[in-house]
Amino acid sequence: MKSKSSHFPPVIILCEPQMGENIGASARAMANFGLEELRLVTPRDGWPNEKAFSNAGHAKHILDSVKVFQTTEDAVKDLHYVYATTARSRNLAKPVLGPVQCAKQCLAAEHFHHKSGILFGRERWGLNNDEIGQSDAIVTLPVVEQFASLNIAQAVMVLAYEWRKQSLEEDDWVPFQAPEKSAPATKSEINGFFEHLEGALDDIEFYKPLEKKPVMVQNIRALFHRAQLTQQDVRTLRGIVRAFIRGKRE
Amino acid sequence: MKSKSSHFPPVIILCEPQMGENIGASARAMANFGLEELRLVTPRDGWPNEKAFSNAGHAKHILDSVKVFQTTEDAVKDLHYVYATTARSRNLAKPVLGPVQCAKQCLAAEHFHHKSGILFGRERWGLNNDEIGQSDAIVTLPVVEQFASLNIAQAVMVLAYEWRKQSLEEDDWVPFQAPEKSAPATKSEINGFFEHLEGALDDIEFYKPLEKKPVMVQNIRALFHRAQLTQQDVRTLRGIVRAFIRGKRE
């Protein structure tokens, strides 16, 4: 797993956020996925905001370096590319991107040391047309039409996640491997277990009617083959068979 | 953008959620992306919960049909595939998936009218090893390692988003090959077999020394979980256990 070194992950800009909780949760989402810079445009309850800090989890470093601006125009001044998130279609001739495309464009910009920012609107009514007008493109999420209204921090989460995922290059990225199972059993170890089990089942006349034995054996073997048995598994299974053969200890 | 008609979008299962706000925000995230069924395992503050409703936005229909269970085992009984979300590596030999792979597997299961569910853990410490042990795979998000702790509703959001996105990407959609296996066993069928086997092993005093029983049980269960047992497999295995208990026919 390798991550691109990122000098300019996109800036997150919350326009007139009302609830401190959402500011904090946005910061937490940013930290989860490696975003760093949060800007606020005239937050309703001023700044700093206690509720933001109590909802930020371990992301207090992001809140500590928040920058506050009086207007959205000020907040995007130093940026090269601005994306406006909105759930509703607007009558503006702007490209409309999904989160994946937005993330890819931000990464492409980084490549040239250009800075991108993503605007998020007010809890009640989103971004205004001026704000969208200042943006290079609209970003929208694949929501169900009747339930298009997103919590701000949730929208930040999805875009941050998608940026991170794209920056890791792989859709099938996983951050940790399952611990190594013990060494896989060899075929002869597995067959040794099969013979052990099948012999024991013969002894207790398990296969009834006897002409079905071949298909029963085949199914049982298939089941254990699917489990990709380790050497430890084979020892355990043979222990179980031995225990059943012996029955209750004296 | 068209969506496949989906009969069985994955069920979301919150294990012992503490905060009503998170339950509500999870429901809202589900509605945003077309998930429908929410289950709760012993929510701390009982059910229904006022804060859940006030945080659900337009997703009250999801809260209205919430089902509450006493144990996680009960909550997954009717499911064919269960995914456990966790940020930390666990010492369990389970496949580890990212959100895309999880979404694709859920969609593949739907294709065969099989039900999937995704488990989310407690705010403070996530899922326990038993819960993960009952799952077919671990799902994890591409978080930054130092900031791996996710808000539950945020984690629900990302998995719901990815499920929705994958379900809309029909062009990329490669249906899995029809399995040659018979129908997969449900979790309650698998657990029925485990109880049967473990009871029989208790009777013959297999677990020696007794303090190693929990880890032995866990390993045996993991082995059989890896086999993705079918209903036929469970019948066969229970037949074997019965035969061993009975011993040689007269």
The pLDDT of residue B34 is 94
The pLDDT of residue A249 is 54
Rounded to 5 degrees, φ, ψ at B198 are: -70, -35
pTM: 0.77
Q: At what angle do helices A152-167 and A99-111 cross, to 10 degrees?
A: 50
Q: Which residue has the tokens 């937005």?
A: A102
List b or e across A201-213, with b for residues whose CB sees 16 or more CB atoms inside 10 angstroms: beebebbeeeeee
Of A34, A157, A229, the CB nearest to B144: A34
| B248 Cβ under 8 Å from any chain A Cβ | yes
Q: Render pLDDT for B50-77 as a digit per residue (tens, 0 to 9).
A: 999 999 999 999 999 999 999 999 999 9
Rounded CA separation B96/B100 (Å): 12
The pLDDT of residue B7 is 66
Chain A, residues 172-211, CB within 8 A of chain B, namely: 172-181, 200-201, 203-206
Q: Which residue has the tokens 């804060």?
A: B51
The pLDDT of residue B178 is 40
Q: What is the pLDDT along chain B (250 residues), one digit of tens a residue?
A: 334 445 689 999 999 999 999 999 999 999 999 999 999 999 999 999 999 999 999 999 999 999 999 999 999 999 988 999 997 766 677 888 999 999 999 998 888 888 999 999 999 889 998 899 888 899 999 998 889 889 999 999 999 999 999 998 754 434 334 445 578 888 889 999 999 999 999 999 999 888 999 989 988 998 898 888 889 999 999 999 999 998 865 4
Residue A183 vs residues A47, A123, B133: alpha-carbon distances, Å: 57, 54, 20
Predicted-assembly ipTM surpassing the 0.90 threshold = no
Q: Mind telling me how many Å the CA of B237 is from chain A's nearest CA? A: 8
Q: Which residue has the tokens 């993503």?
A: A118
Q: Render pLDDT for B32-52 as a digit per residue (tens, 0 to 9).
A: 999 999 999 999 999 999 999
| B157 Cβ under 8 Å from any chain A Cβ | yes
**Low-confidence stretches of chain A (pLDDT beneath 70):** 1-7, 88-93, 169-181, 248-250
Of A147, A175, A228, the CB nearest to B32: A147
Is the Cα dihedral B117, A59, B144, A22 positive or negative? positive
CB atoms within 10 A of CB B91: 9
Q: Searching chain A, which residue's CA lies closest to the CA of residue B104?
A: A172
The pLDDT of residue B14 is 98
From chain B, pick out residues whose CB is under 8 angstroms from the CB of A173. 98, 142
The pLDDT of residue A177 is 56
Contact call for B240 and A203, based on CB within 8 A: no
Taking alpha carbons only, the member of A158, A150, A124 closest to residue A12 is: A158
DSSP conformational letter for A230: B
Of A98, A219, A236, the CB nearest to B236: A219
The pLDDT of residue A176 is 56
Rounded to 5 degrees, φ, ψ at A157 are: -55, -50
Mutate to test the interface with A, among B28, B143, B147 (most CBs of A within 10 A): B147
Q: Render pLDDT for B98-110 as a digit per residue (tens, 0 to 9).
A: 999 999 999 988 8
